[in-house]
């Protein structure tokens, strides 16, 4: 029995799969103790006495960073570098702001400690680490009483002996994060931030997962990583920094799995919730990046390549000082929420605009379990229209059009701005609000096919079950590619493969089931940024690098190519959820259709394989609504996905 769980800020979603099929469930989240909502959901599903394979996407690490509620943490580095994390890259958020607000340092000055054990860029010892120095450092640690320690020495990826000595000497009851284990790559600031983030949230994640695994004793628990693969809960706490995009990664894994099953390998994905929208591009696989950020901090560990904007169903519409209509990024949130929620909200949101235009049915909102205040929506829309000097209907259409443009711009960022033509791709939308905007977004990018997958409102929870067990390992190896002996590169790959295989086999993955992929980070000599290139041999890698550089930036250069990092991706396939094929409608049986204010409404659960809906209509389900534009048609594929196409 498989159970996918996605813990969100408002709801915790469940997808349960056994031999009888798929069941979905939602309960309110319990942010102070997320495991309580999971236990509640398991009990309400009636599977608390069964042996489950649970795959879980958690926001514990993410929320701790966003809310700045991590643990008290000491940062240890070499002499003269205590302010490394405070100085950062000396980049300014507002280039021309002469009096910027001072930024609070990640680690307070009194918790930044210095020590010896420094090596050079060639891996040679520059400053020894003495036993006396270690003893004095331990006394300082005891005085400051931290819950966690982050150790980040210069060039530790070349020689980690000093870091290991420091780790071994630390008090046993303190969580220790070592940079040569967290991110064995160059760039001391990025490596330091990743190591500190891992220590900052590590004890919280370990404590949470320990409580969860004890509460579900008969079950096996795995956790989704930001890279789109899973890791056993027992090991996840040591790698907490790799869980910062746990939930969104699940959505992409589900999109990839369902897209392939439906015959679509190339996808643009759009996950639209209440506050934000996540977009990504899948070309047969989930793309990873090492340039992600959270709360302004660089996160150099591999995570799904995703672009997020502050545009969601709760985004507020307003008129600026110049008389122009604006939408977002401020959101009405869950409380007071949109005006239509009837909880005191008085400002128009994207959801209100959809309600006003009849694209959300008050009768079937959230499966009919939540009533909408239509009068409050009309009042708010009339006020906005008065400010704009237009009719309420024009104002509502303006809000929708502006929200669509924000999301279309985000889709262009991850496609056109990277030299990729989006037109051959299919647009897959999920999340509670994605289906309301899918037709307009597809038209904006010239895309002729769109997909609303089965259970789109809980797709991230489904994606937990579609993900393999995985490890993403890396190691810096700098030098001109043609000057580095092939044996040295192969030995670097081999050591990482052996480590990854051992970890996956410890989680029950058979050696023959482990797939290994190799890649390298390359750049022209003199550049600061790299491109990730699949590795087979040096000549092929250089050729691919020149080609990708020209595709991405519009030119290539007659310069030497430099190797920066070696990367190994290991994955061990786990049992994947299979969708049940839908029955076809008997010949002569009509599709049930209702009218609500002249809008045709179809119940998605009543649609069958090969059913077709043409022209303007709403397709409603328990946790989402799809708006079919007048010049679009929808067909139900054999798995129950809605496949939308533009009519000629």
> Phi/psi of residue 287, each to 5°?
-80, 140
Q: Are strands 325-331 and 315-319 parallel, antiparallel or unpaired?
A: antiparallel
Residue extent(s) of CATH 3.30.1490 domains in the chain: 469-572
Taking 90 as the threshold, does the pLDDT of residue 247 lie above it? no
CB atoms within 10 A of CB 552: 14
Contact 569, 519 (CB under 8 A): yes
374-388 and 392-413 are packed helices; what angle lies between their axes, rounded to 10 degrees?
90
Distance between CA 127 and CA 120 in Å, rounded? 9
- Confidence (pLDDT) at 184: 92
Distance between CA 278 and CA 316 in Å, rounded? 18
The rounded radius of gyration (Å) of the Cα atoms in the chain is 26
Determine the distance from the C-alpha atom of residue 33 to the mean position of all C-alpha atoms in its chain, rounded to a whole number.
Answer: 22
CATH architecture of residue range(s) 469-572? 2-Layer Sandwich (3.30)
Give me 234's structure tokens: 């027992």
> pLDDT tens across 110-147, in order?
999 999 999 999 889 999 999 999 999 999 999 999 99
> pLDDT tens across 355-414, in order?
999 998 888 776 666 788 899 999 999 999 999 999 999 999 999 999 999 999 999 999
Per DSSP, 371 falls in state: -
CB atoms within 10 A of CB 480: 11
- Give 305's contacts (C-beta < 8 A, 6+ positions apart): 280, 281, 286, 287, 288, 289, 414
Give me 26's structure tokens: 């939602």
- Confidence (pLDDT) at 248: 82
Closest by CA position to 605, among listed 579, 627, 636: 636
Contact 200, 100 (CB under 8 A): no
> pLDDT tens across 206-232, in order?
999 999 988 887 778 889 999 888 888
> pLDDT tens across 595-646, in order?
887 889 999 989 999 999 999 999 998 778 899 999 999 999 999 999 999 9
- Three-state secondary structure along 63-83? HHHHCCCCCCEEEEEECCCCC
Distance between CA 17 and CA 14 in Å, rounded? 10
CB atoms within 10 A of CB 418: 14
Contact 502, 511 (CB under 8 A): no
Percent of all residues in the chain with a pLDDT value above 70, rounded to a whole number: 98
Distance between CA 257 and CA 285 in Å, rounded? 9
């Amino acid at each position: 029995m498989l159970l996918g769980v996605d813990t969100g800020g408002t709801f915790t979603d469940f997808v349960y799969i056994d031999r009888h099929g798929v069941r979905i469930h939602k309960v309110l989240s319990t942010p102070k103790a997320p495991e309580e909502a999971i236990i509640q959901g398991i009990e309400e599903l009636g599977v608390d006495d069964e042996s489950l394979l649970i795959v879980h996407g958690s926001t514990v690490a993410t929320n701790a960073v966003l809310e700045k509620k991590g643990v008290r943490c000491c940062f240890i580095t070499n002499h003269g570098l205590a302010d490394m994390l405070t100085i950062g890259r000396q980049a300014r958020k507002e280039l021309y702001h002469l009096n910027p607000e001072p930024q609070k340092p990640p680690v307070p000055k009194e918790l930044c400690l210095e020590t010896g054990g420094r090596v050079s860029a060639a891996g040679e010892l520059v400053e020894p680490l003495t036993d006396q120095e270690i003893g004095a450092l331990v006394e300082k640690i005891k005085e400051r009483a931290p819950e966690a320690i982050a150790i980040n020495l210069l060039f530790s990826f070349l020689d980690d002996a000093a870091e290991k000595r420091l780790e071994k000497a630390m008090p046993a009851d303190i969580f220790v994060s070592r940079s040569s284990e967290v991110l064995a790559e160059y760039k001391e600031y990025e490596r330091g931030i990743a190591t500190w983030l891992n220590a900052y949230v590590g004890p919280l994640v370990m404590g949470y997962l320990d409580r969860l695994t004890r509460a579900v004793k008969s079950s096996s628990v795995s956790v989704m990583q930001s890279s789109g693969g899973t890791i056993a809960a027992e090991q996840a706490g040591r790698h907490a920094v790799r869980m910062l995009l746990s939930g969104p990664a699940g959505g992409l894994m589900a999109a990839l799995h369902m897209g392939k099953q439906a015959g679509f390998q190339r996808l643009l994905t759009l996950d639209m919730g209440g506050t934000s929208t996540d977009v990504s591009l899948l070309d047969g696989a989930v793309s990873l990046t090492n340039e992600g950020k959270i709360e302004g901090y660089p996160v150099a560990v591999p995570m799904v390549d995703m672009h997020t904007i502050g545009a969601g169903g709760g985004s507020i519409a307003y008129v600026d000082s110049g008389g122009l209509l604006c939408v977002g990024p401020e959101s009405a949130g869950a409380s007071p929420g949109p005006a239509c929620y009837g909880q005191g909200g008085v400002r128009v949101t994207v959801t209100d605009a959809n309600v006003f235009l009849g694209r959300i049915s008050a009768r079937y909102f959230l499966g009919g379990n939540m009533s909408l205040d239509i009068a409050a929506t009309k009042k708010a829309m009339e006020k906005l229209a008065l400010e704009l000097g237009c009719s309420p209907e024009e104002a509502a259409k303006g809000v929708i059009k502006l929200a669509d443009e924000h999301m279309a711009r985000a889709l262009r960022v991850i496609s056109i701005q990277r030299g990729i033509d989006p037109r051959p791709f299919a647009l897959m939308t999920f999340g509670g609000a994605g289906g309301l905007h899918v037709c307009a977004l597809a038209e904006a990018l010239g895309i002729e096919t769109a997909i609303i997958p089965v259970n789109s409102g809980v797709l991230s929870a489904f994606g937990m079950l579609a993900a393999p067990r995985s490890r993403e390992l890396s190691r810096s190896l700098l030098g001109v590619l043609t000057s580095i002996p092939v044996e040295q590169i192969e030995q670097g790959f081999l050591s990482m493969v052996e480590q990854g295989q051992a970890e996956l086999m410890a989680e029950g993955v058979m050696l023959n089931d482990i797939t290994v992929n190799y890649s390298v980070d390359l750049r022209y000599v003199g550049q600061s940024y790299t491109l990730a290139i699949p590795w087979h041999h040096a000549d092929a890698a250089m050729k691919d690098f020149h080609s990708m550089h020209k595709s991405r930036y519009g030119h290539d250069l007659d310069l030497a190519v430099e190797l920066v990092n070696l990367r190994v991706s290991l994955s061990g396939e786990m049992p994947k959820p299979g969708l049940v094929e839908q029955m076809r409608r008997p010949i002569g049986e009509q599709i049930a259709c209702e009218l609500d204010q002249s809008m045709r409404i179809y119940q998605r659960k009543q649609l069958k394989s090969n059913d077709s809906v043409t022209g303007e209509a709403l397709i409603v389900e328990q946790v989402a609504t799809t708006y079919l534009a007048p010049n679009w048609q929808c067909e139900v594929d054999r798995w129950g996905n809605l496949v939308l196409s533009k009519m000629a």
